[in-house]
Chain A
Amino acid sequence: MQVSNVFRLEVKNILKNQWLYFSLIISVLLASALVYAIKFMQGPFTIKAISGFYGIGSTIALAIFCTKLYLDDLGSGTITLFFSSQKNRKNYLVGKLLAALLLGFLFGGVCSLVLLSSSAYLGWEIKLLEFIIEPILIYILFSIFYMLLFFLIGIFERNTNNLIIITIITVLAIPSVVERIKLEKASVIVREIINHVPIFFMVQGTKYLQLSSDKLIILSSLIVVLFMTCYYLIGKANY
């Protein structure tokens, strides 16, 4: 079983999934509603707000798609057919990681199109680097981070319903709860630590396409650590 086979089959599954198109359309419609408000209701919004509205739908959908990369195999038991040797287990992980990268590229690419077309429509200045490279890069990091995080959790928690609940809590509930906690009363160190934990900053950072260089370094390092941990543990788990 080769990485290319796992990846190719996953690409087919992704492209045939009608929920992918549905969630992209919903995300684009949300962004379009804000563009409408800016154009016709003099809404005082910036381009970041448009990406933020797009991100309301796209972040949760992307996180669920990333979990589903592994979940369908786990739920149906077909994962045992993939995991018949150490090499196959590792090829599976790499194949799924590439599929997550593709998903991030798709969501980031559509975000780029939304930003470019919105700016053109509203007569705003078009910044190619900010509107193309940034969304694609951030969405790819988002998808890879959550794919690896949920893959790691899935090595220990095999109940697919629980995994979906964990995904939704991680992407929806935790960042909102942290946002609502009045961090002003906490010490500077605690505030800084919380602000630099990826599961707290990743969703908002992706929605508003705002990841500072220190957060990018933390995220990239964590992705490497997550990958190495998954790569090691996947060879040790019984199925």
Chain B
Amino acid sequence: MTIKMRNIYKKYDQNYVLKDLNLDLNQGEIVGLVGKNGAGKTTLMKILCGNIVDFEGGVSYPVSSSNRPLGFLIENPKFYPNKTGLANLQFFAQLFASKGAGQIEKIIKALDMEAYIAQKSRKYSLGMKQRLGLAIALLGEPDYLVLDEPTNGMDPDGIEEILEYLKYLAQEKQLGIFISSHQLDHIQKVSDFILVIDAGETVKSIDKDELVGAKQVTIVVDNKDIGPTKLILARAGIDFDLKNNALTFQAKELSPILTKLSNAKIVLQDIQIKEQTLKEFYFNRKGGK
């Protein structure tokens, strides 16, 4: 069961904000979306949720037995500020024909909202509003969730809880989740697959396995060895940055490279190895910044 977005283009006036974007969102999988402000993340999510309708390309949704196949929280959480949190949940539960009070209670408990659910929602802090928005997104037993920076304004404990809950929803309830955040460590923590976009285009698609065990390596060699080292790395298909005598590159398996360097009698004056994070991937995505 997959939502497929194919060759999505969207322009405002004459400027394209999305260019040839493709996405598969499977049930049971979390796809992270990262990019700068204005990269087109929210526009992409709004297209997926049916809020933006004039775009080029196609979105196909699988047949669902749910009353509400897709729940979402985009930009700010949306609710009626003059109603209490509970009244908002009851309203949307009826609208999306949820299974009544039982489901509402479960969501309130899962998102730890009991303490303030009876208060008028206009009095909520940003973190509370985010939880209410997330709770509304979960009503109607959706197959998919689309969440635009869902942990905005939450405290560190709250962020951990929410991220764990999202992982639980994907793994145990088989929800497909599309999540964006500027907190790259959050995205890395929960995502099975990460889409990096810039100026409306896909810059990189990263599978979670690419990050697991990936390392950022910096080696320092003598001046005379720079040429042969570059040649060995290039032959191994490795992109690198050269600064003075230091070559920096990403690699999962380091020993074959070190063996080749050793066989070529290249002496390493220094070597530094760091675990690769999404942050490094993100900032190195166009030759390194």
CA distance A236 to B68 in the complex (A): 21
Q: How far is the CA of A72 from the CA of B88 in the complex (A)?
A: 13
- In the assembled complex, 30 residue pairs joining A and B whose CB atoms fall closer than 8 Å, in A order, are A1-B67, A1-B68, A1-B95, A1-B96, A1-B97, A5-B97, A8-B94, A9-B91, A9-B94, A9-B95, A76-B78, A76-B79, A76-B80, A76-B81, A78-B78, A78-B80, A80-B74, A80-B78, A81-B72, A81-B78, A81-B92, A81-B95, A84-B51, A88-B50, A235-B53, A237-B53, A238-B52, A238-B53, A239-B46, A239-B52
Closest 3 CB pairs of A and B: A77-B78, A84-B50, A238-B52
Q: Is B104 an interface residue (CB 8 A)?
A: no
Is there a chain A Cβ closer than 8 Å to B86's Cβ? Answer: no
From B52, B72, B81, B97, contact of A2 by CB (8 A): B97
Q: Interface size of A by Cβ–Cβ distance < 8 Å?
A: 23
Query: Secondary structure of the B side of the interface?
Result: loop
Residues in B whose Cβ lies below 8 Å from that of A1: 67-68, 95-97
B136 interfacial by beta-carbon distance below 8 Å? yes
Residue pair A239, B80 in contact (C-beta under 8 Å): no
Whether a CB of chain A sits under 8 angstroms from the CB of B70 is yes
Residues of chain B lying within 8 A (CB to CB) of residue A236: 53-54
CA A82 to CA B94, docked complex, whole Å: 12
Known A78-B80, A80-B49, A236-B54; 7 more pairs at CB < 8 Å = A1-B95, A72-B80, A76-B79, A78-B78, A81-B136, A84-B70, A238-B54
Q: How far is the CA of A84 from the CA of B46 in the complex (A)?
A: 9
| Chain B interface residues (CB < 8 Å from chain A) | 46, 49-54, 67-68, 70, 72, 74-76, 78-81, 91-92, 94-97, 136
Which residues of chain A have C-beta atoms less than 8 A from B96's C-beta?
Answer: 1, 5
Judge if A161 is at the interface, Cβ distance under 8 Å: no
Q: Which residues of chain A are within 8 angstroms of B79 by Cβ–Cβ distance?
A: 76, 78
Contact pick for A83, options B51, B54, B67, CB 8 Å: B51
Inter-chain CA distance A83–B80, complex, in Å, is 16
Residues from chain A with a CB closer than 8 A to the CB of B46 are 238-239
What residues on B are CB-neighbors of A235 within 8 Å? 53
Report how far A86 CA is from B97 CA in the complex, Å.
18
Q: Which of A8, A77, A84, A236 has the most CB of B within 10 A?
A: A84
Q: Please measure, in the bound complex, the distance between the C-alpha atom of A77 and the C-alpha atom of B74, giving whole angstroms.
A: 10
Alpha-carbon gap, A75 to B75, bound state (A): 15
Q: Which residues of A contact B67 (CB under 8 A)?
A: 1
* Smallest CB gap from A5: residue in B: B95
Chain B residues near A80: list those with CB within 8 A.
49, 51, 74, 78
Q: Chain A's nearest CB lies how many Å from the CB of B262? A: 59
Interface residues of A in 219-239 (CB under 8 A from B): 235-239
CB of A6 within 8 A of chain B?
A: yes
